[in-house]
Each structure stands twice: as C-alpha cells, then as structure tokens.
Structure 1
Amino acid sequence: MDSLILRLGLALAIGLLVGLERGWRERDQPDGGRTAGIRTYGITGLLGGIVAALSLSLDSPAVLAAGLLAFAAVFAWFKMRESMGDGSFSVTAVVAGLSVFCLGALSVAGDPRVAAAGGAGLAAVLASREVLHGLLRRISWIELRSALVLAVMTAIVLPLLPAQAIDPWGGFNPRQVWLFTVLTAAISYLGYIAVRALGTTRGVLVGGLAGAVVSSTAVTVALGRTAAGGASALPLAGAATLAAGVSVLRVTGIVLVVAPSVLGVAGLSILAAVSGFAACGALFMIRGRLEGDADHLPRNPFDLRALLVFAVFFAVVSTISAAVATENARGMVATSAISGIFDVDVAVLSAMRLLGQPADLETVGHAVLLALATNATGRLAVAAATGPIRFWLPIAGATVVAGLLGFAAFTALPHFDLQPGLLPPGS
C-alpha cells in the first residue's frame, strides 16, 4: 500500500511538473480560456497512475488501454475546440497530455525511475521551444546532414561491424576502427556547433582557435595564404601558434576519453608544450597588429569522404602498427612518428589501441608524444610552403620552444600510474 501511494504521488508530481511549464506559458489566459493548465496536467498524471493501478489489481491490461483511449478522445476533443477558437494548428498540448497520462501509468505499472526521468525530459523539451526553434532557424542543411550522418554511423553502422580483429596480428578490428572514427568526428563536430551557437564567426583569433578543433593544419594554410597576400604576418603567426596548442589539447581530449592512463606518462609533457604554444602565440598577437578582419570558420567536420579516408588510413596504420609491434613494440613508435606527420589523430589512436598487449604504457606514451612532435614538424613545413618567412619563422621558434619544454618535462618530471581507460589490455 505504501509503495502504491508513493507511485501515485510520483504520477501526480510528473503531471504538476509538466503543468507548471504549460501553465506558465499560458498564464495570461483567463480562467476557462485554455484546455489544460497546471491542475489539469497534474490530475492527468494521477489519472494515468490510477488507471494503471486498476489494471494491475484486476489483472486486465485492457483496462489501461481503454482508459488511455477514453482520455485521448476527451482531451483531443477539448483541445480541438480551443484550437478552432484560437486558429492554432499546434498538436503539442495533445501529445504532452497523452505523454503525462502514460508516464503516470508507467510510474505505477512500470519503473518509477524511468517515469521520473521521462517526466523531467518532457518538461525540459517543452520549456526549450524558443531555443530549439532558434536553433532550427540558424542551422544550415550541411550541419543538419552531418548530424544525421553521425546518427547513422553510430546507431546503424557501428553495431553491424565485426567486433573481433580480422587480421593475423589483431590490429584491424572493424568496430573499434569505426568507433574511433565516430569519436574523432564527433569531438570536432561539437566544437564546430559550439562556435556556431555562440556566434563567434569572425576574427582571425577566434576563427583560428575554432578551426583548430577541426584541423590546425588547415588553419595554418589559411593564415599562411593571408600572410602571403600582404597582411601583417606576426599576429597571423600568433593565431596559427595558438591553433597548434588547441590541436594538442584536442588530441589530449581523445586520449582522456579512450585511454586516460596514457596521460600519466605524457600528460605533463603535453601540458608543458601547450604552455609554450600559448605563451608564444599570445606574445605574437600582442606584438603584432591585425589590419581588417577575416573569416576563418572551420570546414564542417562531417565530410563523409574525409571520414572514410580517415577510417581507411586508421585501419591501415592500426594493422601495420600491430604487425610491427608483434615483433618489437618499439617499432610501433616509429609507425606513429611517420603517420603523425599526416594525421595525428590516426597515429595517436592507433598507438593507444595497442595498450596492454603488445605495447606497455611507457611505449604508448612515447608513441603519442612522438606523433605530436612529428605532426608539429609537418605543420611547420606546411607553414613554410604557404606563407612568407616572416610568417613561418615565428611559428618555427614557437614549435622549438614547445618541443623543448615538453622534452624537459618528460625527462625531469615523474610519470604517474593512472587507472586504465576504456581500452582493456589486449584489445
């Protein structure tokens, strides 16, 4: 009996929570001018719980089905009359009322925790109308398509892929390769959307930092071309240097999600290198002066062709790394160094997936740091190829400073033994 009273109380609370949002939105309506307010929604949740309790006590699911149909018919009829008077075509209130009734029934006949979570989620969605509608007005088709691609990649493609390695060395695990591809793309996409939502779409500094979430090399190319066109090179070099630091932080975020134990070996070195990039970039920005303004928004990260190339490259590097590491784990470090020139994410992820067997924590940490170092060298080469000497020379100096700081931290500071991350040994 006590349990039933608590469950009915939860059903009532769910209705009152949703009714609070609905009633506040229509608080200026006169009494009797709306179909449902806070009291009606509260009673609706309680009614759902009562009907569910009757259905359980009579051991007849038909009672609950009949109660839901009767409530839906009555509520929809009243809402139709209100809509005809207001000239409205919104069905939100009808769906909200049916949801409250069902959640009230679920709190009695099902899992009350799920019902409570559903009620809170329903109220949150209803209260976010302006935010969601504003997002729909601002979002482009490319961004929407990218989100749909992410959903398909995660919910449809990922479960269909084999979960075991299909090569003799245990390096090419299709599901794991695709999971890391989705992870890397999702981090870049979230950074892109955050910039769009905040409206920071102009300026070399903001654009460079935002673009580094996707590709610091692409940012370096864009800034180098701007400098080659006659713009002030020093602040552009500063923006490129700061973008390099953001790129290292992005890779650190991937490490933190996939295998945080690696940060016990490489974390302090990475922090020192990022500090070097940040200090040098800030100095270049302060000493220089930008003339005019420029857009450097990152390219949408969900270019499907680029993602497929990433997945293929990752699979190839993972297989080669596993084959080399079978004979000598140190060979994996050399593989990471070479692949890091072209794509640091692939190099780092390929190294981390070998954590445990055959590569130990120290070896994987070395591989991650070497991939970051060779990627910085490749980025500097791109700067020299696209920009004038007054652009790439400060970047070269900043890269040397960051590298020396990272090396000093690696050799002088202790390494920590952190708990293993998401990759189990031997995965």
Structure 2
Amino acid sequence: MESLIAKLGLALAIGLLVGLERGWRERDAPDGARTAGIRTYAITGLLGGLTASLALSLEAPSLLIAGLFAFTAVFAWYKSREALHDADFSVTGVVAGMSVFMLGALAVTGDQRAAAAGGTALAVILASRDLLHGLVKRISWVELRAALVLAVMTAIILPLLPAQAVDPWGGFNPRQVWIFTVLTAAISYLGYIAVRVFGATRGVLVGGLAGAVVSSTAVTLALARTAAAGGNPWPLAGAATLAAAVSVLRVTGIVAIVAPSVLGVAGIAILAAVAVFAICGGLYLTRGNLAGTGDGSPRNPFELGPLLLFAVGFAVVSTISAAAASGHSAGMVATSAVSGVFDVDVAVLSALRLLGASADVEAVGHAVLIALATNAVGRLIVAAATGPVRFWLPLAGASALAGAAGAAAFAALPHFTWPGATPIL
C-alpha cells in the first residue's frame, strides 16, 4: 500500500509540475475560459496512475489502453472547442495532456526515475516555448543541416560500426574513432552556436575567442593576415594569445570528458600555461584598439568534409600510436609530438584512447602536454610565415613563458590521483 501511495504521489506531482507551467502561461485568462490548468493536469497525472494501477490489479492491460483513448477523446474535444473560440491551431495542449496521463501510468507500472525525468523534461520544454521559437527563427539552414548530420552520425551510424579493433595492434576501433570524432565536432559546434546566439559581431576579440573553440591555428592565421595588412599588431597578438588559452582549455575539456584521471598528471601544468596566456594576452590588448580590424565571425565548424578528414586522420594516428606504443610508451609520445603540430585534438585523443591498454596515466599525461607544446610551435610557424615581426614576436614570448610556467609546475608540483576518475574508453 505504501509503495502504491508513493507511486500515485509521483504521478500527481508530475501533473502538478506540468500544470504549473500551463497555468502560469494562461494565468490572465478568466475562470472557466480555458480547458486545463494546474488542477486539471494534476488530476490527469493521478488519473493515469490510477488507471495503470487498476490495470495491474485486474491483469487487464486493455483497461489502460482504453483509459488513454477515453481521456484523449474527452480532452481533445474540450480543447477543440477552446481552439475554435480562440482561433488557435496549436495541438501542444492535447499532446501535453496525453503525455501527463502516460507519465502518470509509467510512475505506477514502470521506472519511477524515468517518469520523474520525463515529467521534468516535459515541463522544461513547455516553458521554453519562446526560447525555442526564437532559436528556430535565428538558425540558418546550414546550421540546422549540421545539427541533423550530428544526429544521424550519433543515432544511426554509430551503432552500426564495429566495437572491436580491426588492426593487429588494437589501435583502430571504428566505434571509438567515430565517438571521439563526433565529440570533438559537437564541442566545436556548440561553441559556434553560442556565438551565433549571443552575437559574433563584437570585434576581433570575441570572434577570435569563439574561433579558438574551432581552431586556434586558423584564428592565428586570420589575425596575422590582418596585422600584415596594417592592423595594430599588439592587440592582434593579444587576441591570438587569448585564443591559444581558449584552445588549451578546449583540449582540457576533452581530457576531462574522456579520461579525467589524466588531469592528475597534466592538469596543474595546463592551468599554469593558461594563466600565463591569459595575463600576457590581457597586457597586449591594453596597447591598442581592436575596433574595425578583421572579421569576427567564425565559420560553421561542423562541415562534413573536414569532419571526415578528421576521422581519417584520427584513425591513422591512432593506429600508428598503438603500433609505436607496443611494449613501451616512448613511441606514443613521439607520435603525439609530431601529430600535435598539425592537429592537437587528433594527437590528444589518440593518446587518451591508449590509456589502460598500452600506456599508463603518467605516459598519457606526458603525451598530452607534448601535443599542446608542439601545437603552440605550429601556431608560431603560421604566425611567422604570414604576419609581421611585431605580431608574432609577442605571441612567441607569451608561448615561451606559458611553456616555461607549465614545465615548472609539472616538475615542481606533485602529481595526484583524480578521485573516482575513470576513462570512458
């Protein structure tokens, strides 16, 4: 009895939560002018729970099905009358009522946590109407297509890929390669969408920081060209330095998601380097004005061509790293050093996936730091090749100081075990 009372209480709570949102949205309507408010949705959740309870007691699943159809018919009829009166063609209220009824039934017959989560999600979606409608109006077709591609790659392609390594060294696991490819692209895409939502036309600084979520090397190249065309080199170098800090933080986020235990080895050194990059970048920015220089709009990072190239490069580097790390970790570190010049994400993810297989946490931490260091060298090569000395020399100074601070922190401060951190590999 107590268990049933608790389940019915959850069904009632789900209806109250959804009804609170529905009632608040129509709070200015006079009494009797709306089909359903907080009380009706609360009773709907309880009704779903009671119907499911009777179906279980009588061992008659058809009773629950009949109850759902009867409720839907009555609710939809009243909603249709309200819609005719208000000239409203939305079916959201009917679907919400059906959902509350079924979630109430789930609270009694199934997983209570799933029912509670579903009710919360339903209320959040209903309350986010203005936000979601505004997002639909602002998003472009290219961005929508990118999101659909991400969904297809995650929900359709990923389950079809083999989950075992297909090479002798255990380096090329198609499913793992695809997971990390989608993860990296999704992080970049979310950064891009954030800039689109909050505005990316506030100058080179905002565009550079946002672009670093995609590629700090590309940002450095764009800023170097702007400096070569006559832009003030000091603040441009400051923007490039801050972009480097964002790039390191992005890689740190990937490490924290994939294998957080590595942060116990490399985390303090990374934080020291980021702090130096941030200080130097802030100082450089005070030496001039960024207004009117460059284009602050980052390109959509979730394009299919570059994404497939990333997957191929990741697969090749992963296989080479696994072969080189067979029996020792020096080969993995060397591979990370070389590949980090071209793509730090590929180098870092290739090292992380070897954790626990052919490399320990200490070796993987070394590989991550070396990949970040060689990627900084790659940025400097690009800056020196395309920008003036007054642009790349401050960037080189900040990179050298950041590298020295990271090395000192790595050597002087103790490494530690990240509590409860296990890789998702």
Global fold match (TM > 0.5): yes
- Residue 292 of structure 2 aligns with an amino acid whose one-letter code is G
CA drift of 1:290 comes to 2.6
CA drift of 1:414 comes to 2.0
The equivalent of 1:358 in structure 2 is 358
- Residue 315 of structure 2 aligns with an amino acid whose one-letter code is A
The equivalent of 1:54 in structure 2 is 54
Change in Cα spacing, 1:7 to 1:409, as seen in structure 2 (3 Å) is closer
1:199 aligned to 2:199?
A: yes
Q: What are the within-5 Å matches in structure 2 for residues 260-409 of structure 1?
A: 260-292=260-292, 294-409=294-409
The equivalent of 1:171 in structure 2 is 171
CA drift of 1:136 comes to 0.9
- Residue 224 of structure 1 aligns with an amino acid whose one-letter code is A
The equivalent of 1:87 in structure 2 is 87
1:177-207 deviations in Å (ceiling 9; x for gaps): 1111111111111222222222243211111
- Residue 281 of structure 1 aligns with an amino acid whose one-letter code is G
Is contact 2:260–2:423 with CA below 8 Å preserved after alignment?
A: no
Is contact 1:219–1:296 with CA below 8 Å preserved after alignment?
A: no
Local SS of the residue matching 1:27: coil
Local SS of the residue matching 2:172: coil
CA drift of 1:296 comes to 1.7
Structure 1 stretch displaced more, 76-85 or 53-62: 53-62
The separation in 1 between residues aligned to 2:60 and 2:172, in whole angstroms, is 53
The separation in 2 between residues aligned to 1:302 and 1:31, in whole angstroms, is 50
TM-score by length of structure 1 reads 0.95
Structure 1 stretch displaced more, 294-303 or 72-81: 294-303
CA drift of 1:83 comes to 0.9
> What is the RMSD computed on CA atoms of the aligned residues?
1.7
The equivalent of 2:11 in structure 1 is 11
The separation in 2 between residues aligned to 1:326 and 1:37, in whole angstroms, is 65
CA drift of 1:98 comes to 1.1
The equivalent of 2:2 in structure 1 is 2
Is contact 1:192–1:298 with CA below 8 Å preserved after alignment?
A: yes
CA drift of 1:92 comes to 0.6
1:105 aligned to 2:119?
A: no
Structure 1 spans left out of the alignment, 5+ residues? none
The separation in 2 between residues aligned to 1:299 and 1:103, in whole angstroms, is 42
The equivalent of 2:254 in structure 1 is 254
The separation in 2 between residues aligned to 1:106 and 1:417, in whole angstroms, is 42
Is contact 2:226–2:293 with CA below 8 Å preserved after alignment?
A: no
Change in Cα spacing, 1:178 to 1:35, as seen in structure 2 (3 Å) is same
CA drift of 1:420 comes to 7.5
The separation in 1 between residues aligned to 2:381 and 2:279, in whole angstroms, is 21
CA drift of 1:46 comes to 1.9
Structure 1 stretch displaced more, 168-177 or 292-301: 292-301
Change in Cα spacing, 1:65 to 1:199, as seen in structure 2 (3 Å) is same
Is contact 2:203–2:290 with CA below 8 Å preserved after alignment?
A: no
Structure 1 stretch displaced more, 232-241 or 99-108: 99-108
| % identity of equivalent residues | 74
The equivalent of 2:131 in structure 1 is 131
TM-score by length of structure 2 reads 0.96
The equivalent of 1:140 in structure 2 is 140
1:141-167 deviations in Å (ceiling 9; x for gaps): 122111111111111111111111111
CA drift of 1:252 comes to 1.1
Local SS of the residue matching 1:77: helix
The separation in 1 between residues aligned to 2:402 and 2:248, in whole angstroms, is 11
CA drift of 1:294 comes to 4.2
Change in Cα spacing, 1:354 to 1:108, as seen in structure 2 (3 Å) is closer
Is contact 2:338–2:374 with CA below 8 Å preserved after alignment?
A: yes
Corresponding pairs, count: 425
Local SS of the residue matching 2:326: helix
The equivalent of 2:239 in structure 1 is 239
- Residue 269 of structure 1 aligns with an amino acid whose one-letter code is A
- In the TM superposition, structure 1's runs of 4+ consecutive aligned residues that sit over 4 Å from their partners are 419-422
Is contact 1:170–1:322 with CA below 8 Å preserved after alignment?
A: yes
The equivalent of 1:20 in structure 2 is 20
Is contact 1:232–1:291 with CA below 8 Å preserved after alignment?
A: no
The equivalent of 1:32 in structure 2 is 32
Q: What are the within-5 Å matches in structure 2 for residues 56-71 of structure 1?
A: 56-71=56-71
Change in Cα spacing, 1:37 to 1:386, as seen in structure 2 (3 Å) is same
CA drift of 1:327 comes to 5.0
CA drift of 1:422 comes to 4.3
- Residue 17 of structure 1 aligns with an amino acid whose one-letter code is L
Is contact 1:202–1:295 with CA below 8 Å preserved after alignment?
A: no
- Residue 298 of structure 2 aligns with an amino acid whose one-letter code is P
Is contact 1:202–1:293 with CA below 8 Å preserved after alignment?
A: no
The equivalent of 1:209 in structure 2 is 209
CA drift of 1:114 comes to 2.1
